[in-house]
Amino acid sequence: MEITKAEEHAMKKVVGSIILILVILIIGLVIWINVSPMPAVYLLRRQMGEASISYPEDEKERKSRVVVENNLIYESNDRHNTYDLYMPKDIEGKVPVVIWIHGGAFVAGSATGVENWGYMLASEGIAVVSMDYQWAPEMRYPGQARQVQECIMTLQKRVAEGLAINLEQIILAGDSAGAHIAAQSALINTNPEFAEAIGLQSALKPGDIKAMLLYCGPYDVEKMLNIEDKALNFFASRIGWSLFGSKNWKENPLLETTVIKNYLTKDFPSSFVTDGNSGSFESQGKELVEKMNALNIENHALFFDKEVVETHHEYQTDLLSKEGWQCYEETIQFLKEQQLIK
């Protein structure tokens, strides 16, 4: 059947319209990519999804020792102001508490990504508060550290109402970007110069933070985002843009405050520091430990020889792996040495 000239003309108009729409969409996307970090952030959030976690063989028995309350609210004017509370059963009096801040490159992630560690640590007889916080770019730096203080203030109210946790025996913990936020939260408590520099005050008394658990964290944001690979550098630059609210984020004077080692003092809490040796921030972790040693800050470091075994970013989430389990066991031993676990 032959196509008439009128039908051919109509088809050309339809095809032309589709091409025009596609061109407009492509131009719009290019413009959007250059005026906002959100296209890259959406891709990162989709790619990261939920963290992959695993439990040891005694998972069921461990969980039977713990009571969990999910999606509790802490007072904040910002979103994602929820936390999960893991409490050991059959406790007498108040117990030390881990306040855990999740990772996700500052733009993604959630408290559920550390669910296995929440159960595991609580099964050892301490409480765990696994908190969420508002991601960048919806929240700019240092808003995430402010939300940590807001979560602590809510916990203080709950303790006054009878919650059996000891806020004079706090263990601040974090993985990946959460390790950076945790370290900054400790600096707010131990270094007045740092607290003034980022405009935040500690909700705690000096000495309330008894220990730090720092897993696979970056401790210098500019160094973290300084990537030679062009494709990865594109996403890294969008994380910086998201965090500091400007495409020229490297010019932000607050960037200097992200270098944790520059603000360490002898009052920084005893710390457990670990990282994988592939696709992670091992060199930054080792630099942090080196500065801790120079200041006589008690620490326990766990790094792996790449010639012997390759360990990846967030390796500690896999508690079925030899290295993940080693990390857990050394964490428990560290907490026992700090007299925070019996």
- Condensed to tens digits (0 to 9), the pLDDT of residues 73-85 reads 999 999 999 999 9
Query: pLDDT higher for 64 or 1?
Result: 64
- Condensed to tens digits (0 to 9), the pLDDT of residues 91-124 reads 989 999 999 999 999 999 999 999 999 999 999 9
Sequence-distant (≥ 6) Cβ neighbours of residue 90 within 8 angstroms: none
Mean pLDDT of the chain: 91
266-280 mean pLDDT:
96
pLDDT over threshold 60, residue 24: no
Residue 14: predicted pLDDT: 61
Residue 28 confidence class, pLDDT cut points 50, 70, 90: low
Nearest CA-CA partner of 237 in 34, 27, 31, 26: 34
145-171 mean pLDDT:
98
Domain map of the chain by residue range? 1-35, 51-337
Residue 39 confidence class, pLDDT cut points 50, 70, 90: confident
pLDDT over threshold 90, residue 22: no
Q: How many CB atoms lie within 10 A of CB 25?
A: 10
Residue 43: predicted pLDDT: 86
Report the percentage of the chain scoring pLDDT > 70. Answer: 87
Residue 321: predicted pLDDT: 96
Sequence-distant (≥ 6) Cβ neighbours of residue 201 within 8 angstroms: 149, 188, 195
231-246 mean pLDDT:
87
Lowest average pLDDT, out of 30-34, 35-39, 283-287, goes to 30-34
- Measured CA to CA, the distance from residue 36 to residue 23 in angstroms comes to 20
pLDDT over threshold 90, residue 195: yes
182-202 mean pLDDT:
97
Residue 52: predicted pLDDT: 77
Residue 7: predicted pLDDT: 57
Domain with residues 51-337, CATH architecture = 3-Layer(aba) Sandwich (3.40)
pLDDT over threshold 70, residue 35: no
Residue 25: predicted pLDDT: 52
- Measured CA to CA, the distance from residue 265 to residue 187 in angstroms comes to 8
142-158 mean pLDDT:
98
Query: Where would I find the H helices in 36-174?
Result: 38-48, 59-64, 115-122, 143-160
118-144 mean pLDDT:
97
Please state, in angstroms and as integers, the Cα–Cα distance from residue 286 to each residue in 43, 59, 236, 280, 293, following that order. 31, 32, 22, 12, 10
Residue 38: predicted pLDDT: 85
- Condensed to tens digits (0 to 9), the pLDDT of residues 308-336 reads 999 999 999 999 999 999 999 999 999 99
Nearest CA-CA partner of 111 in 64, 73, 66: 73
Please state, in angstroms and as integers, the Cα–Cα distance from residue 143 to each residue in 35, 64, 91, 244, following that order. 22, 36, 35, 10
Residue 233 confidence class, pLDDT cut points 50, 70, 90: confident
- Measured CA to CA, the distance from residue 225 to residue 285 in angstroms comes to 15
Write the DSSP string, 67-86.
Answer: EEEEEEE---SSS--EEEEE
Residue 80: predicted pLDDT: 96
Chain-centroid distance of CA 149 in Å reads: 15
